[in-house]
Amino acid sequence: MRLIWLLLLSLSLFGAERIVTLSPAIAEITADLGALDEIVGVSEYTYYPQSLRERPKIGGYFSLSLERIISLNPTLVIGLPHQQETLEKLQAFHIKTLQVELGKIGEIKRSISVIAETLRKEERGRQLVDAIEKNQRTAPKLEKKKSVLIVFANASGIDKGVYVAGHNLYFEEILHLCGAENAYKESFNAQPVLKAEGLIATDPDTVLLLFGPLDRFDADAVMRSWQRLPLKAVRSGSIKIIQSDYLLIPSHRVAKSIKTICEAIR
């Protein structure tokens, strides 16, 4: 009888978690660490792995629902620094929380390791980090340096303003790995919004227009809107549209993003 009691106790201590992830990137990392079945709630726009699209949604990136999260009876909630207030409220309900940062490649790697350690998936965590580091080492380099502008949101809306990669995101780090430089030289923030005049001032050699998998757009119309601008990239035909389900997500799949971006600007 005592043996059975000890077995039940060990199962309760080391049984499956009930995890809620507060960003798509955190969901991706957690799933590919081997805890896919333990995720009981995800944020909006979580679409990888595909099975997570059907999990209960707990709100958007900046519009989380505390009530929805608590209703899922989680044992662990993983979020980002700007979600600290929500995480602190959950702690008041005696729900374990974990906060990670995913802005730069080093932060992504550290966060993978922290989540892996929390979930007792250290070996798989090392594999994911190793894959990133391998692609960092082997990133194809340009023969001649060029300036690149990465547009990652509202790429078809020049008149309203587009979001470009500034200096505190993994995009710029990838450009450096490729032997390129960021065409955006100002130092305002990580995600500046530029309209036509600001875009003209950057005058990049190459422009990468990044779209997510759910974005609907007319590629020809997008190209026509950019071709109106007097840019070196326009004159050389170096404006490229890339649609993928990983380039905009700061997860372990940044390993793929390194390869894709470096190949696109060569």
Gap between the Cα atoms of 155 and 168, Å rounded? 20
Other CB atoms within 10 Å distance of the CB of residue 158? 18
Q: Identify which of 83, 118, 122, 77 has the alpha carbon closest to the alpha carbon of residue 101.
A: 83
For residue 51, what are the contacts with CB-CB under 8 A and spacing of at least 6? 36
Gap between the Cα atoms of 26 and 23, Å rounded? 5
Would you state the pLDDT for residue 144?
A: 93
Gap between the Cα atoms of 250 and 231, Å rounded? 29
Would you state the pLDDT for residue 9?
A: 41
What's the pTM? 0.90
Gap between the Cα atoms of 204 and 110, Å rounded? 32
Q: What is the pLDDT along the chain (266 residues), one digit of tens a residue?
A: 444 443 444 444 456 899 999 999 999 999 999 999 999 999 999 999 999 999 999 998 789 999 999 999 999 999 999 999 999 999 999 999 999 999 999 999 999 999 999 999 999 999 999 999 999 999 999 999 999 999 988 777 788 899 999 998 899 999 999 999 999 998 876 789 999 999 999 999 999 999 998 888 999 999 999 999 999 999 999 999 999 999 999 999 999 999 999 999 98
CATH topology of domain 140-264: Rossmann fold (3.40.50)
Domains 2-137 and 140-264 are alike in CATH topology:
yes
Would you state the pLDDT for residue 196?
A: 93
**What's the Cα-to-Cα distance from 108 to each of 101, 145, 255, rounded to whole Å?**
7, 26, 11
Secondary structure of residue 70 in the 3-state scheme: helix
**CB–CB of 25/43 below 8 Å?**
no
Gap between the Cα atoms of 207 and 226, Å rounded? 10
Which top CATH class is 2-137? alpha beta
Name residue, tokens 């422009």: 207
Would you state the pLDDT for residue 15?
A: 62
Instruction: Please state the domain extents for the chain.
Output: 2-137, 140-264
